[in-house]
Amino acid sequence: MAAYARAVNIEDLRRAARARLPRAIFDFFDGGAEDEVTLRANRAAFERVRLLPRALVDVAEVDAGVELLGAPARFPLAIAPRGAIGAGRPGADVALARAAKAFGVPYTLATPATASIEEVAREAGGALWFQLYVLRDAAFRERLIERAHAAGYTALLVTVDVPVGGKRERDTRNDFVAPFRPTWRNSRDFWRKPAWALDMLRHGVPRMENLAGCVEWSTRITDAAASVGRAQDASFNWDALKRVRDLWPGKLVVQGIARPDDAERVAAIGGDGVVVSNHGGRQLDGAAAALDALPGVARAVGARLAVLVDGGVRRGVDALKARALGAQGVLVGRAALYGVMAGGEPGARRALEILTGELERAMRLAGAPSLAAVTPDLLAPADRLAR
């Protein structure tokens, strides 16, 4: 039996992905910025939250269904955007999208994905959201918006926490930098992973398909990290965001919000939601954990905007905790990524099976037969008062 099929939790899938991938590729997906303080803090924030379960509630049947951005979802989660994932497994973007569709949750395609906007819509379907990086080439980014709308994507997530690329030191230590130059160290590591190497030989090294024609962004996988810094529009501001709002006819979500006042400005320009996020700890090291920032944002705009949170989700109970703290749902990034890296589409399904199974079990144990019953009074008093 494959390692992903034996996985009983997300950490098992992480180990399976690590065993299959070259270190440089695994660290590119797994790592954070600088000392990885914020990366660790994201997980620690979930682990600190304590629940006060209700007793003697009929939980023979539980309903984890929810509305996300005005559309029904079977669970309070969506797949977060992640670029260049074809570097770990060819076809990973489509595989993740298909797994999301099977579980009735949205999938978010990243701007630097290794499958095109049109390919994912054609080959996977389901509830599709598109993540927009704010590229300096305004005409190019506006064409991406047009393509996503034409292909039937229902929400646009504008990522605003990357004015420059974070300092990701694992990549530097692994010689995974741009321009990429093969070295004795990184080449040896690649060929010591035969399953991964065979996939690359058979399918070829994938490219970031949506960025073809963007002169400031290389489509080579090995240039991904450096391209983030080169191509981002560090001057992108609220007026530019208003322009995106005018162009996009669907749901508009701003990802990378940590402050209540910024969330209020998103509401003021006609946004539909925010993702409380620090980019998975990959940008500003020392930024607050996303879950710690969530309650303030939810109190400020929860009645006007959909509030989502990402970063550090590793257990199904994390979605329950996020709901109790004011989120509509969570975005799942690395947890799903480990699954698809370990086992392709079946591995991605295993990741979602683990998370959703844990969530339904946690709802029963907490005395919450539906998500409507996941309210702040499920939090232990110390957590309620502290937040």
Paired tokens of 339: 């699954």
Q: How far is CA 280 from CA 38, 52, 82, 166, 211, in A?
A: 8, 28, 10, 11, 22
Task: Point out the catalytic residue in the list 98, 168, 193, 279.
Answer: 279
Paired tokens of 331: 């975005």
99 CB-near residues (< 8 Å, 6+ apart): 336, 339, 340, 345, 348, 349, 351, 352
Which residue from 302, 228, 319 is spatially nearest to 266, judged by alpha carbons?
302
Return the HEC string of 338-383: HHHHHHHHHHHHHHHHHHHHHHHHHHHHHCCCEHHHCCHHHECHHH
Q: Find where tokens 């918006």 sit.
A: 145
What residues pair up with 307 in beta bridges, in sequence order?
Answer: 274
Paired tokens of 215: 């002169």
Q: How far is CA 299 from CA 70, 258, 289, 320, in A?
A: 20, 13, 17, 17
203 catalytically annotated = no
379 CB-near residues (< 8 Å, 6+ apart): 49, 50, 51, 52, 321, 324, 325, 387
The sign one gets for the Cα dihedral 374, 380, 383, 387 is: positive
Q: One-letter amino acid identity for 198?
A: L
Helices 92-102, 334-366: axis angle to 10 degrees equals 20
- Active-site positions read 279
